[in-house]
Structure 1
Amino acid sequence: MYKILVVDDEPRVSTGIRNFLLDSDLNISNVETALNGFEAIDYLRMDSFDLVLTDIQMSRMSGLELMETIYMEQPHLPVIVISAHEKFDFAKKSLRLGARDYLVKPVEQDDLMRVVRKVLCEKEEIGLKSIELSKRQRDKESEQTEEMSRNELLMELVTERNLTKKDYASSVAELGEQISGHRFGVVSIRMDLSRGGFSNREITLLDRKLLKYASINILEESLSEWSGLIFNGFGNELIGIIQMNDTGVIGHSLDIQSQLHLIGQMINMNLKQYLNVETTVGMSTLRSDVFMLPKLMEEANTAAEWKNLHPGNKVFYYEDVLAQENLSIVEWMARVDKYILTLKTDLDSPLPVDTQKIAKPLTMLAHTEELFNSYFGMLVYRLYGLILEYGHANGISLHRFDPDVYFRNVAGADKLDYLNKYIQETAQLVRVLVKERDQSMLARITGFIRLHFRNPALKIQDIANEVHFSTAYLSYLFKREMHKNLWDYVTELRIDEAKRLLTTTDKKRYEVAYEVGYESPEHFGRMFKRYAGLSPAEYRKEGQGGSG
């Protein structure tokens, strides 16, 4: 059974559509109507819907603004636009925001039925796919994979080492013809986004996103002959999957190895030429087995890390790294990276950190002073970098954790005695930093909401922008720390303020509604009763001792 939301500021229109849909054969159980975008958002935050039909031209919040909010908060919810405007501009903007169709008023019933049926049938097909997956004993995470974006799916292919070949093949199949090469390689592209653009100015957070988006477009064009798939990695990293056929690439008579060198130099050159962005490029070897992508991702990362040893170079190839005389340095760097990742993933654990795993290889090198100092330095500076990554804590000096300070006047193998303490203190400090950061961010989040909850146009993106978080991490952090949904918190503030106004002032219901962030007194009444258990009038009467 389907649940649909109709949004139109003409009650006659929304009621007509509602009755028509309920009388149809489309297996629709419920149709809610909203008079404006603000009411619609409240409905969407409280309940789950299968489809939204919305007008474009509405007071205060237009249909386009409503669609932007839906896109940010429920990107998979289908929307159909029904509007009196025939302008191509409106249709184009609607479709760009993800509208499934655009109908012009007055709408023919046959057209409305056709479009709604098509969208619901597509939704049903997706549901049937999920059922089929569950029959093959897919767990919840695999079901969520069905809805993964292309970026998330590609990230899984290059990072997830624990998938079975059957699951991996299923993920590859979802990408269809995008994965079709005979040989595969992975590229790690690490961009310096501190400054850039042709003005070479400091880059803001918004500009970084735009630069990453532009970089993806440039690289997809640059690597089209190699069927390059470019997507976002973590932080300022882009990741590319290169595909080559045994017959070579049209227009390139170079051998495979030369083509790899051409690709690396092209990536670096094009991003510098078109965006004035400095990059470090790490390139893996080529493998014929697509299941080796996680291993190739490790190779690309290892190659890129050689920037630390050769700061003058821009492009690094894993095969060149292997050719270096001291291969064990590569292995050590990979081991350090893995250890740092383990520390980051165990931040919630109160237990002491296991230091033996990382200290034992250093013990074996203690007799070789030059090599020992090199390995030791790589480790402790990566640990210090972990501290700096999480910022500053109130009243705690980070300067003493600088390896030059912490290990000053400590010679040779004696450094190993200090290393255990350094790692334990580092882990403890990072836990404090993360906790303080999250608590500080939560205070900023709740403070911002308390200042702006009366604004009916408040969006999750507004709150996320205040603390420079993604909307997904904002929702996760808020739920984890506050033990409630963010929008439940906003509604509770609105209802609490409404209770105060009802019991301490003589303001009319519509005045209270507008003051606490509701566009419609009727919608305010429904929301108040849902959260308070009484209507506003009943609550006021009860607050006045039951007097009439």
Structure 2
Amino acid sequence: MNKILVVDDEPRVSMGIKNFLLSSDLNITYVETALNGFEAIDYLRMDTFDLVLTDIQMGRMSGIELMETIYMEQPNLPIIVISAHEKFDFAKKSMRLGARDYLVKPVEQEDLLRVVRKVLNEKEEIGKKSLELSKWKREKEKTEALSRNELLMELVTERNLTKRDYKELIAELGEQIKGHYLGVVSIRLGLNHGGFSNREITLQDRKLLKYASINIMEESLSEWHGLTFNGFGNELIGIIQLNEQEMSGQRFHVKSQMHLIGQMIHMNLKQYLNVETTIGMSTLHSDIFMLPKLMEEANTAAEWKTLHPSNHVFYYEDVLAQENLSVVEWMAKVDEYVQGLKSGLDKPLPVDTETMIKPLRELGQSAELFNSYFGMLVYRLYGLMLEYGTTNGISLQRFDPDVYFRQMVGEARIERLREYIQETAKLVRLLVKERDQSILARITGYIRLNFRNPALKIQDIANEVHFSTAYLSYLFKQEMKKNLWDYVTELRIEEAKHLLATTDKKRYEVAYEVGYESPEHFGRMFKRYAGVSPAEYRKEGQGGLG
């Protein structure tokens, strides 16, 4: 059951090859013909083919250019070149671009049959081997992932392990535990809704989202030699590993690191998967035996979400002091204040700072309590900036509290806080105004600007949003429920309908204007999507003129 695409600007040649292949014994069920490279690309984007036969010398887009596009979008699709040119350079370049054979016109039917049979048989054998290999690899990867997950879970949950047990676990993990200081992160994923359509998530999609979340977590924690694995239910667990150099300096710097890590995890999962999270972070410890205790700390920190639903990141060291009710009230006050800043973006600047500064002044006699209250406020404000700033290409490094308030104490820090709050409010307003549309909106926006270009390639669109072509296609299909090239074609046909209904332009003019090189090909595509020919559409007044 093979499908073939024949590309030649001589209709007599392409139809001759089509009829010959359909009458052969090669189990070919369908042969499509295209008069140029642009038509061929359209067909390849709409349908799946097993083989392409193409001429080299064609108008507007040569066979070499067509092969370059196929090599970029479907690198495993076999190609046979049939050309009147015997030049070695053509054959050499064709082979470099993946051509399986190069036949010179006029082609003997026996030669064509032999070459096509050989390529189709090879493709079938490769498909069988690939299927068997992929099954084996999937099972192997699944087994290895389960084993790794179980080993890491044992490290963070089992309290009765001996030093020998730990050494054996670490050896089995391949020396992945190697940091001087260790911390544990508990990430609770909100998987009831997600994706850029924010729709309700099915059980199967939850598994996919959780798998994708692990990949993003691993990327987010790579700077800190992070290990990410599945917890129970919708929980992911991360182990952070810091070396002596990263831990050097004051305690304030360590807190800054931990808050930054938590905010980065939250924002990356929100930005790339639109998944809400609650993140609990433990303290850091140099003893691997403390991992179960650090796991408990991370879970305890995450549980504070019930008291502070608007927060996303909870650091255990901040939670320690919260046995005191006044600290709990302060956290609620901080939450309320930050929510007020978010909801009051349309109100004039400067914002009120005295609401937060007055209570801090009253804590001046207790340095430890003051530092705790002060840290909760400034890190919450910093998190607000990260929330709006991570997708805008704006560096927020200077607003890191560890940098902004460096070597400041007492009244100087209070006065600097006034500026920090005002700058936060000002910057967040700017970021809200300048923030790009969602990634999906950027993709569709780019396509709408460029769909009239007949040479539009998936790589052009992927480059616009800095995605791989594979992930771009997956994301578009997942969110839009249609193939990306179907979307492009629909835009072209809708624009053609508009031109047919509102102008006197001839069919070939409309075809060229919406991105088709051939009026005949435009006619076929129009009828495929609109159900009638361009002439029938104009005659029947389906464009709104009727």
Distance change in 2, residues 1:342/1:384 (3 Å): closer
Which of the residues 469, 472, 477 maps onto 1:471? Answer: 469
Task: Measure the CA separation in 1 of the matches of 2:257 and 2:544.
Answer: 74
Q: Report the CA distance between 1:85 and its aligned residue.
A: 1.9
Unaligned runs of 5+ in 1: 146-155, 166-183, 187-232, 238-279, 283-297, 311-328, 412-424
- Structure 1 residues 453-464: aligned runs within 5 Å: 453-464=451-462
Task: Measure the CA separation in 1 of the matches of 2:543 and 2:94.
Answer: 52
Q: What residue is the counterpart of 2:495 in the other structure? A: 497
Q: What residue is the counterpart of 2:532 in the other structure? A: 534
Residue 344 (structure 1) aligned with residue 340 (structure 2): no
Q: Report the CA distance between 1:78 and its aligned residue.
A: 1.5
Q: Report the CA distance between 1:107 and its aligned residue.
A: 2.2
Task: Measure the CA separation in 1 of the matches of 2:404 and 2:124.
Answer: 62
- Structure 1 residues 163-312: aligned runs within 5 Å: 308=246
Q: What residue is the counterpart of 1:4 in the other structure? A: 4
Kept after mapping to 1: 8 A contact 2:83/2:104:
yes
Kept after mapping to 2: 8 A contact 1:541/1:547:
no
Q: 1:94 is aligned with what amino acid?
A: S
Q: What residue is the counterpart of 1:322 in the other structure? A: none
Q: 2:145 is aligned with what amino acid?
A: N
Task: Measure the CA separation in 1 of the matches of 2:474 and 2:389.
Answer: 21
- Structure 1 residues 8-157: aligned runs within 5 Å: 8-129=8-129, 132=132, 142=138
Greater Cα shift, 103-112 or 25-34: 103-112
Task: Measure the CA separation in 2 of the matches of 1:444 and 1:346.
Answer: 17
Task: Measure the CA separation in 2 of the matches of 1:108 and 1:124.
Answer: 24
1:158-214 residue CA offsets vs partner (Å, 9 max, x unmatched)? xx951569xxxxxxxxxxxxxxxxxx999xxxxxxxxxxxxxxxxxxxxxxxxxxxx
Distance change in 2, residues 1:468/1:351 (3 Å): closer
Q: 1:129 is aligned with what amino acid?
A: K
Q: What residue is the counterpart of 2:202 in the other structure? A: none
Q: What residue is the counterpart of 2:508 in the other structure? A: 510
Greater Cα shift, 490-499 or 444-453: 444-453
Which of the residues 147, 159, 162 maps onto 2:145? Answer: 162
Q: 2:82 is aligned with what amino acid?
A: I
Q: 1:534 is aligned with what amino acid?
A: V
- Structure 1 residues 315-464: aligned runs within 5 Å: 341=265, 344-345=268-269, 348-350=274-276, 352-355=278-281, 356=301, 359-360=315-316, 390-392=390-392, 402-404=400-402, 436-437=435-436, 439=438, 441-464=439-462
Q: 1:498 is aligned with what amino acid?
A: A
Task: Measure the CA separation in 1 of the matches of 2:102 and 2:41.
Answer: 20
Task: Measure the CA separation in 1 of the matches of 2:492 and 2:544.
Answer: 24
Q: Report the CA distance between 1:521 and its aligned residue.
A: 1.6
Kept after mapping to 2: 8 A contact 1:302/1:334:
no
Task: Measure the CA separation in 1 of the matches of 2:49 and 2:35.
Answer: 17
Q: 1:34 is aligned with what amino acid?
A: A
Q: Report the CA distance between 1:544 and its aligned residue.
A: 7.8
Distance change in 2, residues 1:544/1:392 (3 Å): closer
Distance change in 2, residues 1:407/1:505 (3 Å): same
Distance change in 2, residues 1:85/1:462 (3 Å): same
Kept after mapping to 1: 8 A contact 2:54/2:80:
yes
Distance change in 2, residues 1:38/1:545 (3 Å): closer
Q: Report the CA distance between 1:126 and its aligned residue.
A: 3.2
Kept after mapping to 2: 8 A contact 1:502/1:512:
yes
Task: Measure the CA separation in 2 of the matches of 1:481 and 1:405.
Answer: 40
Aligned length: 377
Identity of aligned residues (%): 66
Partner secondary structure for residue 100 of structure 1:
strand
Task: Measure the CA separation in 2 of the matches of 1:132 and 1:510.
Answer: 49
1:45-104 residue CA offsets vs partner (Å, 9 max, x unmatched)? 111111111111111011111112112222222212222222222222222222222222
Task: Measure the CA separation in 2 of the matches of 1:521 and 1:86.
Answer: 31
1:245-279 residue CA offsets vs partner (Å, 9 max, x unmatched)? xxxxxxxxxxxxxxxxxxxxxxxxxxxxxxxxxxx
Q: 1:26 is aligned with what amino acid?
A: L
Task: Measure the CA separation in 2 of the matches of 1:77 and 1:131.
Answer: 16
Q: 1:68 is aligned with what amino acid?
A: E
Kept after mapping to 1: 8 A contact 2:391/2:435:
no
Kept after mapping to 2: 8 A contact 1:8/1:58:
yes
Distance change in 2, residues 1:547/1:308 (3 Å): closer
Q: 2:120 is aligned with what amino acid?
A: L
Q: What residue is the counterpart of 1:316 in the other structure? A: none
Q: 1:47 is aligned with what amino acid?
A: D
Task: Measure the CA separation in 1 of the matches of 2:16 and 2:244.
Answer: 67
Kept after mapping to 1: 8 A contact 2:280/2:316:
no
Q: What residue is the counterpart of 1:208 in the other structure? A: none
Kept after mapping to 1: 8 A contact 2:452/2:513:
yes
Unaligned runs of 5+ in 2: 149-173, 177-214, 226-237, 282-300, 303-313, 323-367, 411-423
Distance change in 2, residues 1:546/1:359 (3 Å): closer
Kept after mapping to 2: 8 A contact 1:448/1:463:
yes
Kept after mapping to 2: 8 A contact 1:302/1:333:
no
Distance change in 2, residues 1:533/1:465 (3 Å): same
Kept after mapping to 1: 8 A contact 2:269/2:275:
no
Task: Measure the CA separation in 2 of the matches of 1:39 and 1:15.
Answer: 15
Partner secondary structure for residue 162 of structure 1:
helix
Distance change in 2, residues 1:334/1:62 (3 Å): farther
Task: Measure the CA separation in 2 of the matches of 1:30 and 1:51.
Answer: 11
Q: Report the CA distance between 1:476 and its aligned residue.
A: 4.0
TM-score by length of 1: 0.53
Q: Report the CA distance between 1:529 and its aligned residue.
A: 0.8
Kept after mapping to 1: 8 A contact 2:501/2:543:
no
